[in-house]
Structure 1
C-alpha cells in the first residue's frame, strides 16, 4: 500500500504582534520546537559544551543566550530578500544532552545526535558550544557525504596537534579532521586568522594541506565580496560545511568569547562572508565560542543569532523575492 506523502509544513517564527518579544518560549527566533529533525529541511540545534575550552569557559551557556537574543529577528531578510521560512521547513530541535564531566563521551554523544539529524536529510544549524564540537559534526557529515569542503571563520586555525597533551580540544578539531579524512583540503578556506602564535607552522600547516588561509590583515579596510567570489570558485560543487567562530570578529564587536584577539573582522565583513556562501552546497553550519559570562550587554549573542539567521538564508533551496 502506497503511503500518501505528507504536506510540508512551513513553520513561521512567532511574530512580535502575537506575543511581545520579551515574552513567549525561548526557541531560536521563537520558532516551534520539535524533538526530532523528521520532516524538517533545516533545524537549529544547540550543543551546550565548553569542556574543550582552554581559556575562558562559559560557552555551555551560549545556545540559551543566543536563543534569548534571537527574539528580535524577523522572518524576512530585507537586504538579500531571502524568505527562508516560506522556502524551507525549519524548527528548533533543542540541545544535545552532552556528558558535562567527560569530553570523549560527549564527542561520541554529539556525533550520534548528528547521525540522527542527518538521517532525515535535515541541514543542522548549530549553536555552540566551543569549537571542539566541529569534530564530531564533521565525522557525522563524512558518513553521509564523504569528505567535505569548508569555510572556516576564526582568529585561530584550530590545527594544534595537542593541547596539554590532549588530542581533542577546541584548538585541535581541524588537525584531527584532516587526519581522519573528513575534509577535502583543496576545498577549505580559513578566514580571519591573526594575532600571535608559537611558530610559523600555526598557519603554515593548514596551507601545506591545501587550505586557503586568509589572514585578518588581508581583510582590513575592504569589502570581502571579491574574496568570497574567489572562494566560491575554489570550493566549486560538492558539500560544504560553514564553521564560524565568533572570535573571528573583532572583540570590539564580539567581546563575549573565550579567546579574543585584536584586529579582527568587522560585523559587516562577517555578513559578507556568510552571504558570499550563497550558491555553495551547504550541508551544515555552526556558530561557536559565544561565552555569555563575558557578554554583559548581550551584544555578542545578538550578533551570533543574526549570523545564524544569515546562514539559514543562504542554504540550498531558499527562495528570494524578486
Structure 2
C-alpha cells in the first residue's frame, strides 16, 4: 500500500520493498525467526529479525567515503519477509528455511539471512549448495560451531558446521573459521573442527597476522569458488554487542569488525547470514543496530563484487 492511499506497508529492512525478488533484484533479505530453544537462559534469537529491521531505521543509504550511491537501489534489493516456521520444531523448520532460501536463489538473488541462532546457517547453506557447486564457508565467529554431537541432539547452535562438513554441503578443506576465542563447554573442540577439514584462525592469530594478510591467504585458498559468508554477531566483544546468545569477552570492536568485513572484497559471495542477535539480552538495541550496519556493509561489498558501483 502506498502512503498516498493512507496506508504504510510492513516494516522491512531499511524500508526495502516487501516481497520476493523481481526482475533485476540481486539481493533479498530473509528473516529466519528461529532458535533451538535449548540455551539454559539466553533464549530469544528468534526475535532477532524483527529487532534488526527496527534498528535498521537508523542506518542511512549513502556513505560518502565508501559508496556515495544508493546501493540498495543498484542491487534492486527486496525484503522477502520471514520464513513461516515454529521455533523448536527443528527439522521441520530447517526444511522450510532451506525452501525459502532456495526460492530466492531460484529467482537469481543472493539471500541475506537474518537469524535466529547460529543453527539457521545449516539449512541456508544447504540451499546455497544446491545452486552453487563446491561451496566454501567463511565463518566469522567466536566459536567454531563444529562441535561433536550425540544421536539425540544432532541439530543445535553448536553443530551446524559439523553437519555441513559431514553432509558435504561445503568444501570443508577450503572453509575457514575466523575469530575463535574463549572458553568451551567440552574439551577438544578445535581438534574436532580441524578433523573435519576446517581451518581455524583464532582471535589471537587474526590480530597478530592482521585482517588483510589473513583474508589474502583465504582468498588464495578459495580462488573463484562460491563463498557462503556466515557472520555470528558474538565475534564482537560484548561491550559493543551485548545482546547475543553466547557472549565471549575479548572480541572485535565495532571498528575492527567493519574493517574485517570490508577486507573481504574480491570474494565470490553467493549467500550470507548474520545471526545470534538476541533482543531480550540486548541493551538499547546495540547488537541489533550493529547487525543492521554490518548487513548494509555487506550489501555494499556485494554490489562492489558485482561491478555495480561507479569507479
Counterpart of 2:77 in structure 1 is 90
Note the alpha carbon deviations across 1:139-194, whole angstroms, 9 max, x for none: 11111112311111111110122269410111100000000001112321111111
Query: How far does residue 53 in structure 1 lie from its aligned partner after superposition?
Result: 4.4
- Conserved? CA contact 1:52–1:130, under 8 Å: no
Select the residue among 282, 293, 297 that pairs with 1:295. 282
- Conserved? CA contact 1:225–1:272, under 8 Å: no
Instruction: Please list every run of 5 or more consecutive structure 2 residues that lacks an aligned counterpart in the other structure.
Output: none
Counterpart of 1:171 in structure 2 is 158
Select the residue among 52, 61, 71 that pairs with 1:66. 52
Q: State the alpha-carbon separation in 1 of the partners of residues 81 and 242 from structure 2.
A: 26
Instruction: Please list every run of 5 or more consecutive structure 1 residues that lacks an aligned counterpart in the other structure.
Output: 1-17
Structure with the bigger percentage of helix: 2
- Conserved? CA contact 2:148–2:192, under 8 Å: no
TM-score by length of 2: 0.90
Answer yes or no: is 1:37 the counterpart of 2:14.
Answer: no
Query: How far does residue 206 in structure 1 lie from its aligned partner after superposition?
Result: 2.4
Q: State the alpha-carbon separation in 2 of the partners of residues 213 and 221 from structure 1.
A: 14
TM-score by length of 1: 0.87
- Conserved? CA contact 2:72–2:299, under 8 Å: no
Deviates more, 1:100-109 or 1:129-138: 100-109
Counterpart of 1:14 in structure 2 is none
Evaluate the alpha carbon distance shift between residue 52 and residue 244 of structure 1 in structure 2; reply closer, same or farther with a 3 A threshold: farther
Q: State the alpha-carbon separation in 2 of the partners of residues 168 and 125 from structure 1.
A: 22
- Provide the secondary structure at the position in 2 that maps to 1:314: helix
- Provide the secondary structure at the position in 2 that maps to 1:183: coil
Matches within 5 A, 1:30-179: 30-34=15-19, 36-39=20-23, 40-51=25-36, 53-55=38-40, 56-81=42-67, 83=69, 84-162=71-149, 165-179=152-166
